Structures are given as C-alpha cells and as structure tokens.
Structure 1
Amino acid sequence: MAYAAGIVRDAIIDFLTQHQREASTSEITHAVSRLIGPVASSSVRSYLNLNTPGLFTRVARGHYRLTLTGETALSGDFALAHAGDARLIHADCFDWLAQQQENRFQAVVTDPPYSLLEYSPTHTAKLRAGKGGIWRLPPSFDGRQRAPLPRFTVLNAADRENLWLFFARLAHSLHRVIVPGANVVVASNPLLCHLVASAMSSSGLELRGYLVRQVMTMRGGDRPKNAHNEFNMVSVMPRSQWEPWVLLRKPLEGRAQDNLRRWHTGGFRRPATDKPFGDLIRSHPTPAGEKRIAPHPSLKPQGFMRQLVRAVLPLAQGEVLDPFMGAGSTLAAANAVGYRSVGVEIDADFYQMAKQSVQRLSALKLKNE
C-alpha cells in the first residue's frame, strides 16, 4: 500500500517517542502497521536509513532510536530532576518548548500566571517577605493567617491585551509539541476565562468548552469599599463558588477513532464504562496538610487534580505536560494515577519546592480513593 509522503516516517517517530528506547526494525514495522495499516519492512528500513544520523540513530545492527529522545531532548541545557514517573525541568517554558520535537506530548494540564507580573522576581520577593506586592492579602477575620491571593481585578486594558498575547503565544508554542487530538486544560477564573479561550483558540487550538471546579473561594461577595455600612445589603460582585478550566484540543487527524488508534488521544477517559467524564467536578480548597507539603500560593488539591489528570489521557497512554509546574500538583496527580509527566518551572524556589513535594503529594491517600 502506498502512503502519502511522511506518513510512515511520522508513525515511526510516534512509536519511538512512546517506546522511549531503541527498537528493532521488526518491532518498528509491527508498530507502524498497527498505527497506519500494513507497511513493508523495506519501506520502514528505507526511512530509518535515509534519515540516519538525522532523525534516527542506529545503535546496533537492525536497532534504532530517535536521535533526540528521552532525557537529552527533554533537558537540553536545562536542569532536570526526577520524582517517580515525573521529570522536572528548571527553565523558561517558552525557551524549553522551542527545543522540543514535534508531536511529543499527549496532554497539557496547567495553571499559568494571570497578572503576568505576579510571579516576576520582584513580586515573588515581596510575596515571600509577606509584603504583598500586587498580591491580595485576605483578611484574618477568624484569627488565622491566610496566604496571599493573586489580584485579578486590578488589570487594566493594557494588562489584558498583554495577557491575550501571552496566551496566544502559549497556544502557538504548545501546538507544535502536542499530538493531534491532545487535550489542553488551562486553569482560569470567571473574569478572564473568555480572554484565555479567545487567545488560545486564535492560535490553532479548538475550544472544547469549560470544566467547572465547584469550590468556594475567597473572591467576591464584598460590600462597597468604604461604604459597607451605607450599602450593607449590596455585594459588588457575586461570591465566587466555581473555578473555570478552559478545555482546548489540537485538531484531530481524521475521525476520533482514527486519532485514537494512531495518537492514543482525542477524548477524555471515563471514570467507569457506564459513566462519562463530566464537566463539573466538586472540590474544596486545598487542604492544610497539602499546603504544608507544598506552600505554593496557587496549589490545587490532589482530590481535584487526580480526577482531572486521569481524564486527559483517554487510553491511559502517553505523557502529560505542565509548562507552569509551580509546586508540582499536576505531576503528583499524574504519579498517583500511573501516568508519565513532565513539568517546567522558571522560578528556582518553586522548582526546588516541587523536587521535594511531588512524591510526597502523590503518596497521599485520599478519602474517596
């Protein structure tokens, strides 16, 4: 059977990327035939030999691997650490993504910064010193010390434009390194989720809706500032009881079933055969015990993250990427459900925190598990 130019080559790359080690010509031929249909071993050998020493490296007679694969491709010039089946990279994610090969990851789950300045060195220094910076310090109305929260309501028109450009750039960078049908799930908030959806869908990703994390937060519900007695029956904006996560997808190759066979993704994994994955997940604020393990200001609870991360690989095959790793809650959840994952973090302190916290978070036993 004749295939369009590049189809056999791409199938070989897909298999060796998933395989994560060298393979014999017969193994590669068998895998490619399963992905795209019957292929002659001579055709596979011609691709392997013609591209050597470019895409493929001959490591022994009749055995090949990807030239850029595994940890060399992942780390490049950046620091690399391990935590179970998770690999942690200390890098600017945009620089790091630019060095990764195409069609590398099967899903993305991430919680990016939103005011853009909030995680800059200047403002993280203020945060760590307890001086706030552009972070909102919740009142200690019950006598408890509360962690600062990022301020979403102070963004002006220029900030929102920069945020749109940031998410458009992120989508463009991710589009190249994820496989067709890969889910991209991005944490957001009710005031800015429309902007995230618009920016990322403008760069080639398909908007697939929103996932709702049902949780009571500290945001909203306040009376007018400096006039709370005069307008004691007024809330300036509703008290937020949900957190939106924007759902996007790299366009499929062919039908959903075709994409699932070739790329192992193109949908969400069901909790059970008789129960579809739903877009509402009941949650709670991150427990104090998890915050003690990983005192990151935006740490998400494992009870929620494990449900979400489990769902993004429909066949439980592949690797999950978090380009804004923070303290590593996505990677910890991936470890807990048995997935491989990669996280990237630019902040040195948060990177060190993740190195210590990922395995401890993944080892937690939750009530409903």
Structure 2
Amino acid sequence: MKEYDFDQLEKKENGNGGIWRIPPSFDGHVRSPLPRFTALDRKERASVDRFFYEWGTQVMHALRPGGHVLLASNSFLSQLVFGALVRSGLEFRGEFIRLVRTLRGGDRPKNAEGEFPDVCSMPRGCYEPWGIFRKPIPAKMTVAECLRTYQTGGLRRLADGNPFTDVVVSERTPKREREIANHPSIKPQSLMRQLVRAALPLGEGVIADPFLGSGSTVAAAEALGLHCVGIERYQDYFDMAGEAIPLLAMSDVHAFVTKEVGLESQLHLI
C-alpha cells in the first residue's frame, strides 16, 4: 500500500505531506494523520490491485485447505482489494463490519470550507469492513471432514458459545494501548483477541500476520495462548512491535458499552 512505502512514511514523520494528511480537529478531538486514499490515481489503484492479487497467490500457497484470511480494509478500497483476492483463488466468505467511529471523512471541501459549509466531501466513517476469505476445501470434502483432517474450515465460536457474528461493535483503540505502540493503524486488543480466537476453529495451528505493524495481532494471540508469527519490512515498526507485544498481551481488556453510530450495545469480551 502506498501509504506504507518508505518515502511516504518519511514524509508523514516529517510533516511534509505526501499521501498522509493531518485532518482538522473535530469536536475538540485532535485527529491523527490519515492516508488520502481518494488521491490514488488510476496507475496507483492498478498497483494496489496487482499487489493483492500476487499476495493472494502466496497466501493460497501457505494456507492449509479451509484456512481463513481476515483482512482489514476501508469503505473506499475494499471493493478493489477484495476483488483482487478472489481472482487469486481465495473464496470470498463475506465480511464482518467493525462498527466504530474513527473520525475519518465528513470534512468540508478542502480550502473551501467557508464557501460550502453544508457539504461534506465523503461520509463520516462509522464502520470498518473486514474481508473474510478461505482457501477452498478439497472437492466433496465436508467442513467436518476438513476439521478432522486439517483443523480448518470454519471459524471458532465465541467463548460464551455464541457464533462469531458479521457485525462487531468496537471501541477505538484506547489511549493506554496507543501509548504502548504509536502506530497509525493499531487495532484494539478488545477486537484482535476476538479475531485470533475465530481464526483457529479448534485452537490449533499457527496464525500469520504478514503486516505486523504494532504487533497487535501477535499480542492478542499471546494473550490467548495461541501461536502467531508476524512479519514486518519496516525496521522502526519491527522494533516497536518487539517492545509492544509483551505489554499489549498483558493489558487488561474490559467489556464496554458504546452508544456510537446510534446503537446501544454491550460487548462482552473474552
């Protein structure tokens, strides 16, 4: 992805523009740098498509039959990324929606806020789409047979016995976790611990996170006693993750109540 190219990360750190921008404050909230996905031109979108198609072919090689991929995306690029993964051979098994107000979007037209005060250039983001993909099960093999043979094929139920659902009410990553790992895309442990549990239906096998970043996936697996391998090409993030993983894994995760996006939901966490 362009925003994690080394030159773009350097521009973000130096405050020199590039694809990263500092959005204006909103209701007293100081907003973190965000990538301007709408700035991607046709060539760059084609590059994203090609990257995830080629990445998907490597995932197909690495996964056991029936193994799942859970991939975070956004409302602007998900149709592009998901389509590329399907062409690579992965089955699209739907998506789950993380309900969370990230303060993305909803801004008035840049440099014309006063001229068009009643216009927003994009909707205010209230959800995050995650694609669910699976390496195809061998022909004529049932899910039960796949579970017996490969320990894969389905998603693990929640700790209380209820099914994993395709809508997950989520908090924004809490300050205490962002202080441990200052990564622009860090996901909360309250979410990641649900996902790593779901990824291994029998609690057996190894989770792989090829975009390690802050180490939140590895930390969530560590907290639940699951095996996980993380890969990161950017040295600064790799070093950050090495320090953050044990601290995130030990962090307490509590149930919380949210009234965001007009919903009142109680999230019971594992």
TM-score normalised per structure 1: 0.66
Establish whether residue 137 from structure 1 lines up as the match of residue 22 from structure 2: yes
Contact 2:67 2:134 in 1 (8 A): yes
CA distance 1:153–1:355, shift in 2 (3 Å)? same
**Per-residue Cα deviation, 1:4-54 (whole angstroms, up to 9, x for no partner):** xxxxxxxxxxxxxxxxxxxxxxxxxxxxxxxxxxxxxxxxxxxxxxxxxxx
Measured in 2, the distance between the counterparts of 1:230 and 1:296 equals 35
- Aligned pairs for 1:149-168 within 5 A: 149-168=34-53
Q: Following TM superposition, by how much is the alpha carbon of 1:233 offset from its aligned partner in structure 2, in angstroms? A: 2.7
Give 1:344's aligned residue. Answer: 231
User: Using the alignment, how far apart are the partners of 1:208 and 1:223 within structure 2?
Assistant: 36
For structure 1, the 5+ residue unaligned runs are 1-115
RMSD of the TM alignment (CA)? 1.6
Matched residue, 1:173: 58
Q: Which has the higher contact order (CA 8 A, sep 6+)?
A: 1
Separation (CA, whole Å) in 2 of partners of 1:132 and 1:147 = 14
Decide whether aligned partners of structure 1 residues 224 and 120 sit closer, same or farther in structure 2, where only a CA change above 3 A counts.
closer
Secondary structure at the aligned position of 2:84 is classed as helix
Give the direction of change, closer, same or farther, for the CA distance of 1:144–1:244 in structure 2 (3 Å limit): closer
Separation in 1, partners of 2:146, 2:63: 13
Given the alignment, which residue of 253, 258, 264 partners 1:366? Answer: 253
What is the number of equivalent residue pairs in this alignment?
254
Provide closer, same or farther for how the CA distance between residues 131 and 140 of structure 1 changes in structure 2, counting only shifts above 3 A: farther
Instruction: Find out whether 1:204 has 2:101 as its counterpart.
Output: no
- Structure 2, unaligned runs of 5 or more: 256-269
Per the alignment, in what secondary structure is the counterpart of residue 307 of structure 1? helix
Matching of residues 1-369 of structure 1 within 5 Å: 116-141=1-26, 145-253=30-138, 254-272=141-159, 274-368=161-255, 369=270
User: In the TM superposition, what is the alpha-carbon distance from 1:144 to its structure 2 partner?
Assistant: 5.9
Corresponding position of 2:263: none
In 2, Cα distance between equivalents of 1:294 and 1:367: 19
Letter in 2 for 1:350: Y
Amino acid at match of 2:205: G
SS in 2 for 1:118: helix
Alignment check: 8 A CA contact 1:268 1:314 kept: yes
Conserved 8 A contact 2:207-2:228: yes
CA contact (8 A) 1:223 1:234 kept: yes
Deviations 1:260-302 (A, max 9, x none): 0011011111115651110111112111111110001111111
Cα 1:367–1:262 change in 2 (3 A) is same
Distance 2:202 2:2 in 1: 38
Deviation at 1:142, TM superposition (A): 5.8
Q: Secondary structure at the match of 2:70?
A: strand
Q: Is the 8 A contact 1:138 1:218 kept in 2?
A: no
Aligned residue type for 2:13: R
Q: How many Å separate the matches in 2 of 1:224 and 1:128?
A: 25
Question: SS of the counterpart of 2:153?
Answer: coil
Q: Distance in 2 between matches of 1:247 and 1:275?
A: 18
Cα distance in 2 for partners of 1:273, 1:140 equals 40
SS in 1 for 2:23: coil
